[in-house]
Structure 1
Amino acid sequence: MSKDKFENDLDKFVNSLFGNNNNKKKTSEPNDTEPAKEAKVVDMNKKPVNGKKIGAIVGSLVAVFAIILIIISNLYVVKENEYKVIRQFGEVIGYKNEPGLNFKIPFIQTVTTLPKNVMIYDMATEEEIMTADKKRIIVDNYAVWKVTDPKLLISNARTIANAEARMEEFIYSTLRTELGTLTYESIINEDKSSRGDLNKTVTERVNLLLTNDKYGIEVVDVRIRRTDLPAENEQSVFTRMISERESMAQKYLSEGDAQKRSIEANTDRTVTEMVSTAEKEAALIRAQGEAEAAKIYNQAFSKDPEFYELFRTLETYKQTIGEDTMIIIPSNSPYARILSGYLE
């Protein structure tokens, strides 16, 4: 083999191994202006890459990653306010209620979350109930409840919505029975109301029904929010209530007037008795005073009878003589002599 032929074969071999990846066509003739490129030499002693070994390494990495992903996807966290119910092939096998991190068996077990805290259920519909006195009322109420056994709830009720539906049926059934024994007035009148006992009774009976059917929930309290009349009965009831209140008001006014007259009569009688007693005591005191005064006068005037006679005469002057008084008497009368200044 000639030297030129060997060089041409070597160039072809190099081009077949390290050709242009973008499949660009090389120019048939070299450009004199461009510098000549050096030919690449392949080390014939280098060992080729082992594809099986690389494939095994990649497969191992994928398997490890898949295992880690499966482990992470099957971890679950139990929080303070929730239950985690574990199912195996659809059957409930237990639940977790302690907070923490747990693991379920992949592809075999599933986890369902249920609330652990107390919840309020507002009744979706208003129930019409007949009272003991044959009057229709509409009751609107709500319930406070909680999950006590998640396993029973999932096994018998399946979902929270189904458990609430069964609880609502029991509540309305019990309310219908209890309110049916009460009159309309005892239900709406605050003074005669027994709602406190009614709420307690309804709660106890609903819990008994839920326990018997094993729904795994407990009603903490049932409360009646309001009681209304059907629209067609409201006006007649309002009219009767107005009439009753007016009659009651008139009764109170009459009783008040009677009580007022009684108080005034008692007061007048007491005043009259007090005035009479005071006048009697005053007359007695006055008589005692006059008697004492007369006694003093007698003692004083008895010491000088002539002075007493003169004093009494002067006293009569005060009563008989005024500014325009005219007296006609004989000149020799004692009365005239005194007026004239003759005392003997």
Structure 2
Amino acid sequence: MNKSNFLIVALVVILGAVLSSVFIVDEREKVLVLRFGAVKSVKDEPGLAFKLPWPDTVVRYDDRILSLDVEPLEVTPLDDRRLVVDAFARYRISDVEQFREATGAGGEQAIAVASRRLDSILRSQTREVLGSVSSNDILSSDRAALMLRIRNGAIQNARAVGLEVIDVRLKRTDLPTDNLGATFERMRAEREREATDERARGNEAAQRVRAQADRTVVELTSEARREAEVVRGEADAERNAIFAESYGRDVEFFEFYRSLNAYRSALQAGNSSMVLSPDSDFFNYLKSSGGISAQ
């Protein structure tokens, strides 16, 4: 081999070494430089980066926000009404060294491993959170607090494998198809029981109102009767006082007035037959136009 050929070979070797020592870090990724399988450095700034041509290797990880659709799962809330929950999450690989240590994967395989690990975390956290509330809370439109609890719980668990959970959303919460009939019957039975309870409480309240009204009627009637008796007694006393005063002023007129009242009561149609002595005092004012003194 002559000198020129040797120089060409040397240049090729040098060029190959230089090219194998240089790599590009994309802005959408993070890169780990491994030496004999151990992490040597982390490259997270976009641009050119360098490594040893041998024995360093480069492992790339996606640094973008990723999406994960959690497989539908059944949960059992506090009221034992089973629900099928469908959720999704937004996440990213935040610590590539920790993720590498926890999973030992890189490239496309890392995304698959991250999805499996996060799916397991979210399923466990979803069952734990939704199992602590009633189905009405889960089915209501205001579920932001539940989703926040699931996310906060998942953040702690995902951080251990180098993942950052950004958001968790419940897409769908339905009854299981094989349980719709029984669930519907149970819901109807619960509503009927609630309606029966409401009617019973209404009847009880109505009875209390009626009893109070009856008591008020009795009290008002008794008070009115008492007042009437008082007024009637006062009127009788006033009448007797007037009679007594009248009797004291004109005894003959008072006797005449009493006789007329006796005639009015005794001499009525169908009741005019009497057996009396002709000289009875009852006929004093009928026998003489001059009254008792005229006899």
TM-score grouping bracket, smaller chain normalisation: 0.5 to 0.7
Q: Which runs of 5+ in 2 are unaligned?
A: 1-26, 34-40, 50-60
1:292 aligns with 2:243: no
User: Which protein shows a greater Rg?
Assistant: 1
Secondary structure of 2:170's match?
Answer: strand
Letter in 1 for 2:154: V
> How well do the aligned residues superpose, as a CA RMSD in angstroms?
4.9
Letter in 2 for 1:187: S
Match of 1:335 among 272, 275, 285: 285
Letter in 1 for 2:158: L
Letter in 2 for 1:213: V
Match of 2:166 among 202, 219, 223: 219
The verdict on how the C-alpha distance between 1:211 and 1:271 changes in structure 2, with shifts beyond 3 A counting, is same
1:276 aligns with 2:227: no
- Over the matched positions of the two proteins, sequence identity in percent amounts to 23
Match of 1:207 among 155, 158, 166: 155
Shift in Å, 1:268? 2.2
Q: Which runs of 5+ in 1 are unaligned?
A: 1-82, 97-103, 107-111
Match of 1:187 among 134, 137, 144: 134
Q: 1:61-76, aligned counterparts within 5 Å?
A: none
1:170 aligns with 2:118: no
Looking at structure 2, the residues matched to 227 and 245 of structure 1 have their Cα atoms a distance apart, in angstroms, of: 21
Looking at structure 1, the residues matched to 243 and 218 of structure 2 have their Cα atoms a distance apart, in angstroms, of: 37
Q: How many residues align?
A: 239
Looking at structure 2, the residues matched to 141 and 207 of structure 1 have their Cα atoms a distance apart, in angstroms, of: 16
Letter in 2 for 1:211: R
Shift in Å, 1:197? 6.5
Looking at structure 1, the residues matched to 86 and 223 of structure 2 have their Cα atoms a distance apart, in angstroms, of: 70
Shift in Å, 1:208? 1.6
Shift in Å, 1:231? 1.9
Q: Match for residue 38 of structure 2? A: none
Looking at structure 2, the residues matched to 250 and 134 of structure 1 have their Cα atoms a distance apart, in angstroms, of: 22
Give TM-score, length-normalised by structure 1. Answer: 0.50
Looking at structure 1, the residues matched to 185 and 63 of structure 2 have their Cα atoms a distance apart, in angstroms, of: 51
Shift in Å, 1:279? 0.8
Native 8 Å contact 1:128 1:138 kept in 2? yes
Match of 1:245 among 186, 191, 199: 191
Letter in 1 for 2:44: G
Letter in 2 for 1:334: N
Native 8 Å contact 2:69 2:87 kept in 1? yes
Give TM-score, length-normalised by structure 2. Answer: 0.57
Shift in Å, 1:188? 0.7
Native 8 Å contact 2:85 2:173 kept in 1? yes
Looking at structure 1, the residues matched to 80 and 238 of structure 2 have their Cα atoms a distance apart, in angstroms, of: 88
Looking at structure 1, the residues matched to 179 and 284 of structure 2 have their Cα atoms a distance apart, in angstroms, of: 108
Native 8 Å contact 2:96 2:162 kept in 1? no
Letter in 1 for 2:234: Q
**C-alpha distance after superposition, 1:205-232 (max 9, x if no partner):** 21123322223x3324x34344333322
- Larger CA deviation: 126-135 vs 235-244: 126-135
Match of 2:210 among 237, 259, 264: 264
The verdict on how the C-alpha distance between 1:92 and 1:270 changes in structure 2, with shifts beyond 3 A counting, is same
Native 8 Å contact 1:188 1:227 kept in 2? no
Native 8 Å contact 2:62 2:93 kept in 1? no
- Larger CA deviation: 314-323 vs 296-305: 314-323
Highest relative contact order (Cα 8 Å, sep 6+), 1 or 2?
A: 2
The verdict on how the C-alpha distance between 1:278 and 1:142 changes in structure 2, with shifts beyond 3 A counting, is farther
Native 8 Å contact 1:114 1:150 kept in 2? no
Secondary structure of 1:213's match?
Answer: coil
Shift in Å, 1:86? 7.9
Letter in 1 for 2:155: N
Q: 1:108-119, aligned counterparts within 5 Å?
A: none
Looking at structure 2, the residues matched to 123 and 300 of structure 1 have their Cα atoms a distance apart, in angstroms, of: 111
Looking at structure 2, the residues matched to 230 and 298 of structure 1 have their Cα atoms a distance apart, in angstroms, of: 98
Secondary structure of 1:236's match?
Answer: helix
Q: Match for residue 16 of structure 2? A: none
Letter in 1 for 2:174: D
